Amino acid sequence: MTVRSIAVIGSVAFDTLETPSGRADGELGGSAVHFAVAASFFAPVSLVGPIGDDFPAATREYLVARGIDCSGLEHRPGRTFRWHGRYHEDMNKRDTVALDLGVFAGFAPRIADATRRAPYVFLGNIDPALQRGVLDQFAAPALVGLDTMNHWIDEARGPLEALLERVDVLVINDEEARLLAREDNVVRAARRILALGARRVLVKRGEYGAILFSPSSVFAVPAFPLEQVFDPTGAGDTFAGGMMGHLAATGDADDAALRRAIVYGTVLASFVVEDFGGRRMRTLTRAEIDHRYSQFVALTSF
Ligand code: AMP
């Protein structure tokens, strides 16, 4: 079994989070950070993204201590990306209260030579033109994951669709899948996205779980049932990080491996929602992950 490395590009952020349970300011977040922290439980990860003058040395040290390669964190003059989100009582819904691009504006990453050889690449939710520019720099990735959002489907449909044929797993929520495919039914939407070129489509459905569509099969998992969801921020990226981390750890890419990896992604996501931002990941252990994985197996076997 060869553990392969993963490169992730996306936002590195400080978040203000408001949920029905309370409020937190200045929480470490961003799509690439949530992904990298989750993946680091399983495999070596290189984190690529811009940081500003306000990024504390202690935060970088935390990431390095997790085994995350932070040499791709590019220090630029200005403030780190900031996002302020507010969840509704129904925590499947949230509003962006404020977003400050800071050092993300004008960021054009140059991937270091060592990182370019990473066989697993995850393109976090950023401008599809930037995602393509990054992907072009990788030598021969074995598996490419991609996340996107409504904004890019509306504003950059052409570049996004052009990327799909280079994507092994498109990770997308159900609303985005419908928007991208211009189809109300999620199954038809996924089929349409496969026809656009993505090799597999993983549709996230929040508290209802996820469905993986490939041309020849469909696999559905529930979310792990929790009594309390404290803060859903980062669940999607943590899910993707757990999934790709586990794939990289095994080196397998067949359907069975992908199914197991999706369950690990589900398990990781079920932990991150237990506290604000990524706080829960600081105390999480591999033993807790494996215990919940076996609970999940029991939950879904009949
Ligand atoms: P998730 O809950 O998995 O969608 O991820 C939430 C994370 O994405 C937060 O930590 C935010 O900092 C980050 N985020 C929110 N909006 C954007 C955006 N427009 N571009 C990049 N990152 C974002």
Q: What does the pLDDT profile of the chain (302 residues) look like in tens digits?
A: 456 999 999 999 999 999 999 999 999 999 999 999 999 999 999 999 999 999 999 999 999 999 999 999 999 999 999 999 999 999 988 999 999 999 999 999 999 999 999 999 999 999 999 999 999 999 999 999 999 999 999 999 999 999 999 999 999 999 999 999 999 999 999 999 999 999 999 999 988 999 999 999 999 999 999 999 999 999 999 999 999 999 999 999 888 999 999 999 999 999 999 999 999 999 999 999 999 999 999 999 99
CA dist., res. 196 & res. 243, Å (int): 23
Residue given tokens 């090799």 in the structure block: 199
Decide whether any atom of ligand 1 lies within 6 Å of the 29 Cβ.
Answer: yes
Going by C-alpha positions, the residue among 174, 154, 155, 165 that lies closest to residue 132 is: 165
E strand intervals along the chain: 6-9, 13-19, 22-29, 45-51, 68-69, 73-75, 81-87, 94-100, 120-123, 143-147, 169-173, 201-204, 210-214, 217-221
CA dist., res. 226 & res. 220, Å (int): 18
**Which residue among 8, 12, 28, 31 is best mutated to probe the pocket of ligand 1, counting the most ligand atoms within 8 A of its Cβ?**
31
Instruction: Return the ligand 1 atom nearest residue 13 CA.
Output: 12
**Which residue among 12, 14, 33, 83 is best mutated to probe the pocket of ligand 1, counting the most ligand atoms within 8 A of its Cβ?**
83
Query: Alpha-carbon dihedral of residues 133, 135, 137, 141, nearest 10 degrees?
Result: -170
Predicted pLDDT of residue 116:
96
Q: What is the per-residue DSSP string for 45-70?
A: EEEEEEE-TT--HHHHHHHHHTTEE-
Predicted pLDDT of residue 2:
58
Decide whether any atom of ligand 1 lies within 6 Å of the 235 Cβ.
Answer: yes
CA dist., res. 268 & res. 39, Å (int): 9
Question: With contact defined as beta carbons under 8 Å apart, do 11 and 125 qualify?
Answer: yes
102 C-alpha to ligand 1 centroid (Å):
14
CA dist., res. 247 & res. 253, Å (int): 7
Predicted pLDDT of residue 123:
98
Predicted pLDDT of residue 207:
87
| 219 phi/psi in degrees, rounded to 5 | -135, 125
- pTM value surpassing 0.85: yes
Residue ID of nearest Cα to ligand 1 atom 5: 234
Going from the C-alpha of 69 to that of each of 94, 146, 243, the distances in angstroms are: 31, 20, 19
Residue given tokens 């939407």 in the structure block: 189
Decide whether any atom of ligand 1 lies within 6 Å of the 125 Cβ.
Answer: yes
Predicted pLDDT of residue 112:
96
Predicted pLDDT of residue 3:
62
The pLDDT tens digits for 92-148 are: 889 999 999 999 999 999 999 999 999 999 999 999 999 999 999 999 999 999 999
CA angle, 290 as apex, 36 and 17 as ends, to 5°?
45
CA dist., res. 84 & res. 25, Å (int): 9
Instruction: Return the ligand 1 atom nearest residue 277 CA.
Output: 10
Q: Produce one character per residue of 216-235: b if its CB has 16 or more CB atoms within 10 Å, e if not.
A: eeebebebbeeeebbbbbbb
Decide whether any atom of ligand 1 lies within 6 Å of the 224 Cβ.
Answer: no
CA dist., res. 278 & res. 241, Å (int): 13
The pLDDT tens digits for 262-287 are: 999 999 999 999 999 999 999 999 99
Residue ID of nearest Cα to ligand 1 atom 13: 30
Question: With contact defined as beta carbons under 8 Å apart, do 281 and 37 qualify?
Answer: yes
Question: With contact defined as beta carbons under 8 Å apart, do 21 and 59 qualify?
Answer: no
